């Protein structure tokens, strides 16, 4: 089978198409023929190797796992004897390591689910990362409730776009912040108001929100504090020494600064959330926004595009399609 591998950290050019042996499932494994995967900001960060915190996970000197990729969709080709929830021919999607490959082996008790009938393979592949990041931030850490005023910074990205959809689902009044070219896209997601950051600074508007969710890590608590209500919460997806300090110093005061390490959540929690999201997909509440699609062999170009900073929503890689 073909897989995309990187042996050293660096730019998109380090990604190479490699012929590898097709994996064989054990008794408690599921063999998946991958139809689609994506390029996320996490994939780009892991490949580049510039973040020390990321290297602690991926490998200090060189990548421990040469195959990138974090989300997928596909068809079950074979199941082990102990598998009870899935069968050959099932369409499934979810999170896994090493999804940049034509075939993938996953466990039954990992973050996977059957694809809803109203979702295509490419749409299904674009679900897990963004929505499983936005959901715990807003629902758990932000304690979002009906009537809250919520601002999503970076509203046109993968995490931000799901942040808009989920905030609307929970009955919030939602403001999205994005660039000029993405205003219409964010409006189409259901945002009640859209702020073009090139024309207006939301921290200086005089308006206040209950939750400010920075899905791209481009703002800060200190600058955003004036735009929070007294009991307000500032959320950011980007780990830094600054946010850790802000969380510490606001532990017993308000407004508060908070961070959720969504990648470290228990598998059981993420699996439960994926099934919850599956229900929202079937209802039509959640639907991914796909910016671009690339063939498997052009994954380096897809990484370059994601790193350009112009991506909206999700970038999909068609594998066995």
- Give the model's pLDDT for residue 141: 96
- How many other C-beta atoms are found inside a 10 Å radius of the C-beta of residue 265? 16
Same domain, 140 and 44: no
106 — phi, psi (to 5°)? Answer: -130, 160
Confidence of residue 140 (pLDDT cuts 50, 70, 90): very high
pLDDT digits (tens, 9 = 90+) for 144-162: 999 999 999 999 999 999 9
Q: The CATH number of the domain where 119 resides is what?
A: 3.90.180.10
Q: The CATH number of the domain where 158 resides is what?
A: 3.40.50.720
Residue 275 lies in a domain: no
Mean pLDDT of the chain: 95
Query: Rounded to an integer, what distance in angstroms lies between the CA atom of residue 228 and that of residue 203?
Result: 9
Same domain, 219 and 136: yes
Same domain, 99 and 211: no
Structural domain boundaries, residue 157: 130-263
Residue 272 lies in a domain: no
Same domain, 8 and 122: yes
Same domain, 139 and 243: yes
- Give the model's pLDDT for residue 306: 95
Query: Rounded to an integer, what distance in angstroms lies between the CA atom of residue 214 and that of residue 44?
Result: 19
Q: Is 292 left (phi over 0), alpha (psi -120 to 50) or beta?
A: beta
pLDDT digits (tens, 9 = 90+) for 7-43: 999 999 999 999 999 999 999 999 999 999 999 999 9
Is the pLDDT reported for residue 321 higher than 80?
no
- Give the model's pLDDT for residue 260: 84
Same domain, 165 and 86: no
Last residue of a domain, one of 248, 263, 278: 263
Residue 96 lies in a domain: yes
Same domain, 49 and 98: yes
Same domain, 180 and 253: yes
Residue 146 lies in a domain: yes
For a pLDDT cut of 90, what percent of the chain falls above it? 90
Strands 71-79 and 103-107, by their bridges, are unpaired
Same domain, 137 and 256: yes
> Concatenated DSSP letters for 92-161?
EEEE-S--SBSEEEEETTSSEEEPPTT--HHHHHTSHHHHHHHHIIIIIIS---TT-EEEEETTTBHHHH
- Give the model's pLDDT for residue 54: 86
Same domain, 118 and 138: no
Query: Rounded to an integer, what distance in angstroms lies between the CA atom of residue 113 and that of residue 124?
Result: 10
Same domain, 122 and 145: no
Q: Is 10 left (phi over 0), alpha (psi -120 to 50) or beta?
A: left
Residue 283 lies in a domain: no
Lowest-confidence segment of 238-242, 248-252, 287-291 by average pLDDT: 238-242
Helix then strand count (H, E) for the chain reads 10, 15
Same domain, 249 and 197: yes
pLDDT digits (tens, 9 = 90+) for 164-192: 999 999 999 999 999 999 999 999 999 99
Query: Rounded to an integer, what distance in angstroms lies between the CA atom of residue 216 and that of residue 236?
Result: 7
pLDDT digits (tens, 9 = 90+) for 279-316: 999 999 999 999 999 999 999 999 999 999 889 999 99
Query: Rounded to an integer, what distance in angstroms lies between the CA atom of residue 268 and that of residue 299?
Result: 31
The total number of structural domains in the chain stands at 2
């Amino acid at each position: 089978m073909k897989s995309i591998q990187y042996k050293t950290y660096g730019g998109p050019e380090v990604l190479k198409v490699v012929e590898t042996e097709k994996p064989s499932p054990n008794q408690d494994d599921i063999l998946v023929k991958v139809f689609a995967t994506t390029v996320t900001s996490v994939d780009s960060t892991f490949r580049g190797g510039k973040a020390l915190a990321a290297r602690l996970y991926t490998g200090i000197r060189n990548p421990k796992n040469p195959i990138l990729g974090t989300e997928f969709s596909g068809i079950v080709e074979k199941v082990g004897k102990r598998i009870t929830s899935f069968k050959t021919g099932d369409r499934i999607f979810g999170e896994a390591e090493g999804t940049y490959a034509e075939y993938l082996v996953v466990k039954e008790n990992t973050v996977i689910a059957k694809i809803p009938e109203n979702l295509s393979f490419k749409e299904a592949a674009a679900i897990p990362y963004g929505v499983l990041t936005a959901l715990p931030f807003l629902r758990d850490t932000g304690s979002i409730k009906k009537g809250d005023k919520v601002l999503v910074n970076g509203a046109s990205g993968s995490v931000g776009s799901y942040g808009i959809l989920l905030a609307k689902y929970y009955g919030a009044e939602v403001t999205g912040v994005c660039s000029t070219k993405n205003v219409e896209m964010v409006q189409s997601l259901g945002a009640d108001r859209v702020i073009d950051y090139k024309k207006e600074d939301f921290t200086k508007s005089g308006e206040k929100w209950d939750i400010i969710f920075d899905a791209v890590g481009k703002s800060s608590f200190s600058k955003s504090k004036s735009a929070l209500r007294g009991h307000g919460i500032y959320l950011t997806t980007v780990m830094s020494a600054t946010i850790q300090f802000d969380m510490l110093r606001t532990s017993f005061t308000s407004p508060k600064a908070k961070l959720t390490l969504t990648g470290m959540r228990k598998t059981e929690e993420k699996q439960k959330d994926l099934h919850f999201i599956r229900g929202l997909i079937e209802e039509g509440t959640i639907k991914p926004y796909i910016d671009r699609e690339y063939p498997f062999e052009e994954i380096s170009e897809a990484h370059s595009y994601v790193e350009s900073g112009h991506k909206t929503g999700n970038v999909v890689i068609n594998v066995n399609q």
